[in-house]
Amino acid sequence: MAAAAQFRSPCIVTVRDPAEGGQNALSRARRATLYTQFLPQGAAIDIELRNVRALSAVIAAARERGVKVIVSFHDFAATPSAARLQEIIRRGTAAGADIIKIATRADSTAELHRLLALFAGKTPRPLSVMAMGRYGKVSRLLFAQAGSVLNYAYLGTANASGQWAVRTFRERLSELES
């Protein structure tokens, strides 16, 4: 907790569900306790779409503090159909998300195109979209250019396939923007 208070950059508080990549098999009650404990250090919280109902008290506490709510969806096996992706956006919006985050596996250009198509029209909430797998790295650059509002990179070691080191990601984005 003391280390979290020393961060100078905005923090996203995440206590990931094991079904969506969480490293520990924490109960929902324990996850709720951790969210609440770290809420004062957060600029945003990230809660999986599958858990918005169960963690509604955490979301309400975040709202009271002016902390943004990211509603996320992860699929480590594939990219869902276009219809399913639109349903995720609709459900995230209905859950009161400030930002909707979608992270899926994209091992084909069709999956990459399906994710990119999310930026073609107007969405009710800002999107943070990224892929893992074969097209993970290119997706992060492409979607940042297309309007993805949160673009994840790593400082020490990647925690998902497709992530760039922060410095390299900044350099590549700069090259694309010049």
Catalytic residue among 68, 74, 122, 137: 74
Closest CA to 148 of 169, 168, 164, 125: 125
All structural domains of the chain with their residue ranges = 2-149
Residues 101, 113, 122, 137: which is the catalytic one? 101
Do the Cβ atoms of 35 and 15 come closer than 8 Å? yes
2-149 CATH fold: TIM Barrel (3.20.20)
Q: Would you say the pTM of this structure is higher than 0.85?
A: yes
**pLDDT surpassing 70 at residue 162:** yes
Q: Would residue 137 show up in a list of annotated catalytic residues for this protein?
A: no
Q: In this predicted model, what pLDDT tens digit does every residue of 3-18 receive, in sequence order?
A: 555 556 788 998 888 7
Per-residue b/e over 75-95, b at no fewer than 16 CB within 10 Å?
beeebbeeeebeebbebbeeb
Chain mean pLDDT for the chain:
91
Instruction: Show the DSSP H helices in 22-77 as ranges.
Output: 28-38, 56-65
> Is 113 assigned a catalytic role?
no
Backbone angles phi, psi at 101, to 5 degrees: -110, 130
Residue 137 has which token pair? Answer: 């790295």
Q: Residue 127: is its pLDDT beyond 60?
A: yes
Cα-based distances in Å from 70 to 76, 128, 169: 19, 9, 22
